[in-house]
Homo-oligomer: A and B are copies of this chain.
Protein backbone atom coordinates (compact mmCIF):
# COMPACT_ATOMS: atom_id res chain seq x y z
CA UNK A 1 0.00 0.00 0.00
CA UNK A 2 2.86 2.35 0.88
CA UNK A 3 5.45 0.47 -1.14
CA UNK A 4 6.25 3.66 -3.07
CA UNK A 5 6.20 6.02 -0.11
CA UNK A 6 9.39 8.03 0.43
CA UNK A 7 8.88 7.44 4.17
CA UNK A 8 10.71 4.45 5.65
CA UNK A 9 8.16 4.30 8.50
CA UNK A 10 5.35 3.87 6.00
CA UNK A 11 7.10 1.05 4.17
CA UNK A 12 7.98 -0.72 7.41
CA UNK A 13 4.46 -0.27 8.76
CA UNK A 14 3.06 -1.93 5.66
CA UNK A 15 4.97 -5.09 6.48
CA UNK A 16 5.03 -4.91 10.25
CA UNK A 17 1.88 -3.04 11.22
CA UNK A 18 0.03 -6.24 11.95
CA UNK A 19 -0.27 -7.86 15.33
CA UNK A 20 0.06 -11.42 14.07
CA UNK A 21 3.15 -10.61 12.04
CA UNK A 22 4.75 -9.04 15.11
CA UNK A 23 3.93 -12.07 17.25
CA UNK A 24 5.30 -14.48 14.64
CA UNK A 25 8.53 -12.46 14.64
CA UNK A 26 8.59 -12.48 18.44
CA UNK A 27 8.25 -16.26 18.45
CA UNK A 28 10.92 -16.64 15.78
CA UNK A 29 13.33 -14.67 18.00
CA UNK A 30 12.29 -17.01 20.78
CA UNK A 31 13.44 -20.02 18.76
CA UNK A 32 10.17 -21.29 17.37
CA UNK A 33 10.59 -22.64 13.83
CA UNK A 34 7.69 -24.97 13.00
CA UNK A 35 4.17 -24.22 11.88
CA UNK A 36 2.61 -26.35 14.60
CA UNK A 37 4.70 -24.65 17.29
CA UNK A 38 3.78 -21.16 16.06
CA UNK A 39 0.16 -22.27 16.04
CA UNK A 40 0.35 -23.60 19.59
CA UNK A 41 2.07 -20.46 20.85
CA UNK A 42 -0.16 -17.95 19.09
CA UNK A 43 -3.52 -19.69 19.03
CA UNK A 44 -3.97 -18.23 15.55
CA UNK A 45 -6.18 -19.85 12.94
CA UNK A 46 -4.25 -21.90 10.37
CA UNK A 47 -5.12 -19.59 7.48
CA UNK A 48 -4.06 -16.47 9.38
CA UNK A 49 -0.81 -18.06 10.45
CA UNK A 50 0.05 -19.39 6.99
CA UNK A 51 -0.76 -16.01 5.44
CA UNK A 52 1.57 -14.21 7.85
CA UNK A 53 4.37 -16.74 7.45
CA UNK A 54 4.13 -16.44 3.67
CA UNK A 55 4.12 -12.64 3.79
CA UNK A 56 7.12 -12.55 6.09
CA UNK A 57 8.95 -14.97 3.82
CA UNK A 58 8.04 -12.89 0.74
CA UNK A 59 9.35 -9.80 2.53
CA UNK A 60 12.68 -11.49 3.21
CA UNK A 61 12.18 -11.53 6.98
CA UNK A 62 11.79 -15.30 7.35
CA UNK A 63 13.28 -18.03 5.23
CA UNK A 64 12.24 -21.64 4.82
CA UNK A 65 14.82 -24.34 5.34
CA UNK A 66 14.80 -28.11 5.81
CA UNK A 67 14.34 -29.17 9.43
CA UNK A 68 17.56 -29.29 11.44
CA UNK A 69 16.69 -32.80 12.68
CA UNK A 70 16.62 -34.28 9.18
CA UNK A 71 12.86 -34.85 9.26
CA UNK A 72 10.53 -33.83 6.42
CA UNK A 73 9.42 -30.68 8.24
CA UNK A 74 10.22 -27.23 6.96
CA UNK A 75 11.52 -24.64 9.40
CA UNK A 76 10.95 -20.90 9.36
CA UNK A 77 13.97 -18.96 10.55
CA UNK A 78 14.81 -15.27 10.64
CA UNK A 79 16.98 -14.00 7.81
CA UNK A 80 19.72 -11.43 8.40
CA UNK A 81 17.12 -8.73 7.68
CA UNK A 82 14.75 -10.40 10.14
CA UNK A 83 17.40 -10.46 12.84
CA UNK A 84 17.74 -6.70 12.40
CA UNK A 85 14.20 -6.39 13.76
CA UNK A 86 15.61 -6.97 17.23
CA UNK A 87 15.54 -3.24 18.11
CA UNK A 88 11.89 -3.07 17.03
CA UNK A 89 10.97 -6.01 19.25
CA UNK A 90 12.90 -4.52 22.16
CA UNK A 91 11.08 -1.20 21.67
CA UNK A 92 7.68 -2.92 21.62
CA UNK A 93 8.55 -4.92 24.71
CA UNK A 94 9.96 -2.03 26.73
CA UNK A 95 7.05 0.26 25.91
CA UNK A 96 4.63 -2.52 26.84
CA UNK A 97 6.40 -3.11 30.15
CA UNK A 98 6.04 0.55 31.03
CA UNK A 99 2.54 1.22 29.79
CA UNK A 100 0.56 -2.02 29.50
CA UNK A 101 1.09 -3.48 32.99
CA UNK A 102 0.02 -2.36 36.41
CA UNK A 103 2.77 -1.58 38.90
CA UNK A 104 4.03 -4.89 40.23
CA UNK A 105 2.07 -6.96 37.70
CA UNK A 106 4.34 -9.80 36.57
CA UNK A 107 5.45 -10.11 32.96
CA UNK A 108 8.03 -12.01 30.95
CA UNK A 109 11.44 -10.36 30.78
CA UNK A 110 14.13 -10.03 28.14
CA UNK A 111 17.32 -11.09 29.86
CA UNK A 112 20.89 -10.36 28.86
CA UNK A 113 22.29 -13.90 29.01
CA UNK A 114 25.77 -12.86 30.13
CA UNK A 115 24.64 -10.94 33.21
CA UNK A 116 21.25 -12.63 33.76
CA UNK A 117 19.79 -9.17 34.17
CA UNK A 118 17.07 -7.43 32.17
CA UNK A 119 18.22 -5.74 28.96
CA UNK A 120 18.73 -2.02 29.70
CA UNK A 121 16.25 0.51 28.36
CA UNK A 122 16.94 1.26 24.70
CA UNK A 123 16.59 4.71 23.22
CA UNK A 124 18.05 6.74 20.38
CA UNK A 125 21.24 8.65 21.08
CA UNK A 126 22.61 11.73 19.43
CA UNK A 127 26.07 12.09 17.91
CA UNK A 128 27.33 13.31 21.27
CA UNK A 129 26.28 10.02 22.88
CA UNK A 130 23.45 11.56 24.92
CA UNK A 131 19.87 10.20 24.79
CA UNK A 132 17.92 11.98 22.11
CA UNK A 133 14.31 13.13 22.55
CA UNK A 134 11.87 13.42 19.67
CA UNK A 135 11.67 17.17 20.25
CA UNK A 136 15.33 17.49 19.33
CA UNK A 137 14.79 15.84 15.96
CA UNK A 138 12.84 16.57 12.81
CA UNK A 139 12.03 14.74 9.61
CA UNK A 140 13.67 16.00 6.44
CA UNK A 141 11.21 15.18 3.69
CA UNK A 142 11.99 14.75 0.03
CA UNK A 143 11.39 18.00 -1.81
CA UNK A 144 9.15 16.47 -4.41
CA UNK A 145 7.45 13.88 -2.22
CA UNK A 146 3.70 13.73 -2.63
CA UNK A 147 2.27 13.50 0.88
CA UNK A 148 3.46 11.49 3.85
CA UNK A 149 6.60 12.04 5.87
Binding site for B on A (CB under 8 A): 1-2, 6-23, 26-27, 29-30, 40-43, 60, 81, 83-101, 106-115, 117, 119-120, 122-127, 132-134, 136-142, 145, 147-149
Contact = CB atoms under 8 A, between A and B. Distances in A.
A93 B9 contact: yes
Contacts of A20: 17
A8 B124 contact: no
Number of copies: 2
A138 B113 contact: yes
A123 B86 contact: yes
Nearest to A29: B134
Given A30-B139, A88-B92, 5 more contacts: A8-B100, A11-B100, A87-B123, A89-B134, A122-B124
A9 B92 contact: yes
A120 B117 CA distance: 26
Contacts of A9: 22-23, 26, 89, 92-93, 96
Contact of A8 (B21, B85, B108, B137): B108
Contact of A126 (B22, B87, B114, B123): B114
